Each structure stands twice: as C-alpha cells, then as structure tokens.
Structure 1
Amino acid sequence: ACIGNRSLGWDLLPPGSERFEFEGKIFAGYKDVANFWDKGTEPKPVPWYAGRQYDADVAHAKAVLRNLADYYPGYQGQGYEVAGFVWWQGHKDQSAALASRYEQNLVRLIHSLRRDFQTPTAKFVLATGCGNPGTEGFGKQIAEAQLSVDGDRGRYPDFKGNVQCVDVRDLWRTPDQSPVNQGHHYNHNAETYYEVGDRLGRAMVQLHEAKK
C-alpha cells in the first residue's frame, strides 16, 4: 500500500488497539468512529473509523494473493511466501497524543500484520521517518519510537533477528537541495527516496541471510 495523509494512531490503527486518555480527551480505539472527544462526553461520529485504512490495505493485499494469476501473468499456481513487510510512515502522527503512543501502536502493527497474513516469522523492516529531519520535537519522538522496536535494541526480545529499523534521518535533504519545499513529501527529493529504499532492501536481505 502507498498512500499519504494517514496516521498509525488513527487511520492505520491495528486491530485490538484500545482507547486511551490524554490531556482530558479520549482517543479512539480500533473501530471507533471519532478520532478523539472530550472525556465525559459521547464521540461525534465521522464517516471513517479508527483502523479503516489498515483494514482496507490488508483486504486489498489478500485479494491480490487470492488471484495472483490476474496480477502476475506468469503465475502457474506454484504458491507464494509472504517473506516480509516494509514500513515507512510517521508524518501524520506528529501530535503530542499520537506520538506518545507510536511505539505501542507500532509493536501491535507488527504482530497484527503477521497474524493477518499467517506469517508469524515474516521479517519486518522499517525506516525512521515523519517528513521532517526528525531531530527535535514530535519528529524525534517518533524516530526514537521506531528505532526502539529494532530487535537488536533488546526492548522486544521476540523481535531479535526478525525486526530491523534503519535510521535514514541523514538522508533528509533541504528544500534548496530539492525540487520543492514540501517536507511531508521529503521535498520530492529523488535521492532521498532512492537511498531509503536501498537501505530498507538491504536490511531485509540481511535479516533473511542471517537465518541461513
């Protein structure tokens, strides 16, 4: 899936995520129909729900897997393997409430994707990112949350050898080095996108080669 303007704490909220309170407001749990509301009041529904983008992405991917021959002309029913997942996201979670839950939501996301695709040992690689340099404020908080799930960090022992986060904050390029001034799209800098993809790919290869 590739889509903009989506947060892990709302649009992509994984199944099982619970409501939480932050500074006098209640924030949505999975399938809630309001992003947040004042404590002690009832949520006002919107035409969306927490986790809807997660559900749609998973459903679309499963639909492709059920009909691979329609998407890969050379497919002859030989089967397939979901070898891993790649994640690069974070811009829309830059608020005090969502940034505070990013690590928790990310851990749940990893478990949820593996469960939904029945691949408990599938590798998971991610890159730091939130559409800014990630060196201060919510951007830094999100980058630190992303780095914390790396299996080598030791915070999550079950992620050892199967989850890796690559720090790509050094690949941020300023507007004067880029086609446009649009931070949430990395200023449309082709070098940034190319190098981030390269690092993610190498991380995935590294995880797979390590298990041999």
Structure 2
Amino acid sequence: MEGKASNELLEYQATNDPTKAIYAPFRQDGKWIERDDVLIKFLNRQGPLTIGYGSPNKTGLELAFGFAMGEAYDEPVLLIKTAWGGHSLYQKFRPPSAGMPSEEVLAEELEQAKKRVRNNNEKRNRNDPLPTMEDIKAEYGISYKAMMEDVDTTLKNAGELFPELKGKQPHIAGFVWFQGFNDMFGDHAPKEYEQNLKHLIHDVRAAWHSPNLPVVIGALGQNGSSEPQPNMKKIQDAQLAMNEVPEFAGNVKTIRTDVLVDKTAEELFPDWEDHREAWQKVGSDRAYHYFGSGIWYNRIGQKLAETMLELKATKQ
C-alpha cells in the first residue's frame, strides 16, 4: 500500500506530547533523520529513508519497517517499494501461475465493461470504442509485471541510483505483502484470494531463485476494533491461512494489523467533520486508509519488521 499519513500530521505528533516519544527514533536534533544506511526506491523517487515515501507528501509503514531493518543489520538495507492504489490480487497483481479466469468469467466481464462504456457514451454524448477481449485480458497481471520489472531494474542499477551501493551487489532478502482491500469486491476475487496468494509467493520465489525466501504478510485490518464485514473477513482468513500451509512453515507468516489500531483516531473518526481541528491532530485520511494514522502505520511497520527478522533468524 502507498501510505496516507500526511507529513504535516507526523510533524505535529513528533513535536507534541504525548505522541512525540513514538517518533523519537526517527528524529535527531529536531529534524527527521535521513538514513544513509537504509535506502528506498518507490516508483520514481529514491534516496535515504525518511518521511515522505508514501503518497505525495505522505508516509506509510516503510518508515518504521526500514528503521527496524537498519538497526538489525550492519550491511546497507535497500527497500524497493511498489504500490499502486486500487489494485487487486485477483486482477492487476495476478501472478502468472494463477492463469487467467475462465472464458465464461472473462466474457461476463467484457459484457459489463461494454455496458459501462455504452452508458457513459449515452450520458456524456461520447463515442468511445467498446472494449475488446484483448483489453480485458491485458489488465490481468499488469501490476505483478510492473512490480517485478521495478525490482529487476532497481537491482541492476543500484549503484547508479544509490551512490552508497556503488560496487556492491544487492540480493533479495525478504518480501513483504500488504494488500487486499480491492479483493473484497466482486463474485470471484474473495473466493480466489487464498490460492492466488499461494501462487504469488511461489512465483516471486521462483523469479528470484530463492525457494525459501522469507515472506511476511500484513492481513487486511481496516476494521480495527470492530468485527470485519463478511468479505473483509474472507480476505483476512485467506491471508491468515498462509500460517497453516505446511510448506510455508518457518518461512511465511501473516500478522494481524487490526489489533494494532490507533484507537484515538478510531474513536474520533465517525464525527471528524464536526471536530476538524482535533481530527487533524490524529488522522489524515479515511478508514480504508487506516485513518492516515502515522501511529497505526508505525505499529504495522514495526511488527512486520519484527516478524521478518524472526523468520530470517530461523531460516534454514
């Protein structure tokens, strides 16, 4: 996920009681640290890890995750972050070994797409061409391919992108997956999530020639303290099911993220429009983006890092 905690919110919480202690590890002499031993590449941006590597002018869980990794290793740490909002594992992130949906499902999708274009043409007096089956199929796996290409290109050009890595050969040491919201929708995505996630793990390991690559998954958690809606629970259960796959024992682990909720933001959000000034001190986005809570993101990032380090410590 991109990360939606505004830098303005982080700046406020980092300089005010009782939240400034949460951000103390990321600051020095009243400024945000830029780590020269933890480097990050996020789409068209790269540099030393600091705030701002989420959506524009925002931060995600990479901050806490990367700092924890930097403290754990003497070697330089490189984070290659690939995230595009609104993409499902069922479609855009669909891994190659999952194959394509059935011809019947694709035909149904094509008809729905044609209907949307016809309605839009009629409503807006347009004459846009109707989609073809090739258009429908082209969307499957497009983000998976982009992710793998970005990783490959970054590793090949690491020395040019990061002077700190000049003369060094990075290797892939772990994979973090935190996604799932868009798979809650539709008739097929929730049902397929578990098998598609297994395919994803197998495919990235095969592509990177690392059959036991440590994989940490953050389960969908926007429900926070509340019970998840049925389709959200389907995705959560599918993600947590990875903990029960025999071949993944000791090298894949899913953590819960709802239990790490920022309860202050959660309690204030329902009436945030009536308390804008108070809300701006705890959150910066909607519930589906974890309230844009820097505290929630930091907790998730820290827990993902701890879990990754546990897997690497037990890796055979």
TM-score, normalization by structure 2:
0.57
Deviations 1:132-184 (A, max 9, x none): 4462311111001000012xx2xx21111100111121123426154245122
| C-alpha deviation, 1:97, in angstroms | 1.6
1:12 and 1:51 in contact (8 A); partners too: yes
Larger deviation, residues 179-188 vs 139-148: 179-188
1:88 and 1:129 in contact (8 A); partners too: yes
Number of residue-to-residue matches in the alignment: 199
- Distance in 2, matches of 1:126 and 1:198, equals 13
Matches within 5 A, 1:19-34: 19-20=100-101, 26-27=105-106
- Distance in 2, matches of 1:192 and 1:10, equals 28
Matches within 5 A, 1:1-212: 1-20=82-101, 26-27=105-106, 36-37=109-110, 43=133, 45-46=135-136, 48-95=138-185, 96-129=187-220, 131-133=222-224, 135-150=228-243, 153=244, 156-173=245-262, 174=266, 176=268, 178-180=282-284, 182-211=286-315
Deviations 1:173-198 (A, max 9, x none): 42615424512211111111000000
| C-alpha deviation, 1:20, in angstroms | 3.8
1:90 and 1:130 in contact (8 A); partners too: no
- Distance in 2, matches of 1:103 and 1:47, equals 21
Greater gyration radius: 2
- Distance in 2, matches of 1:51 and 1:35, equals 19
Letter in 2 for 1:140: K
Root mean square deviation, CA, Å = 2.7
Q: Which runs of 5+ in 1 are unaligned?
A: 28-33
Percent of aligned positions that are identical: 26
Matched residue SS, 1:165: strand
Letter in 2 for 1:88: F
Larger deviation, residues 78-87 vs 196-205: 78-87
1:30 corresponding residue in structure 2: none
Q: Which runs of 5+ in 2 are unaligned?
A: 1-81, 112-131, 270-281
- Distance in 1, matches of 2:94 and 2:298, equals 28
Deviations 1:75-129 (A, max 9, x none): 2433222111001001111123201100000000001111112222210001111
Letter in 2 for 1:26: V
TM-score, normalization by structure 1:
0.83
1:91 and 1:130 in contact (8 A); partners too: no
Matched residue SS, 2:188: helix
2:184 and 2:232 in contact (8 A); partners too: yes
Report runs of 4+ in structure 1 exceeding 6 Å deviation.
none
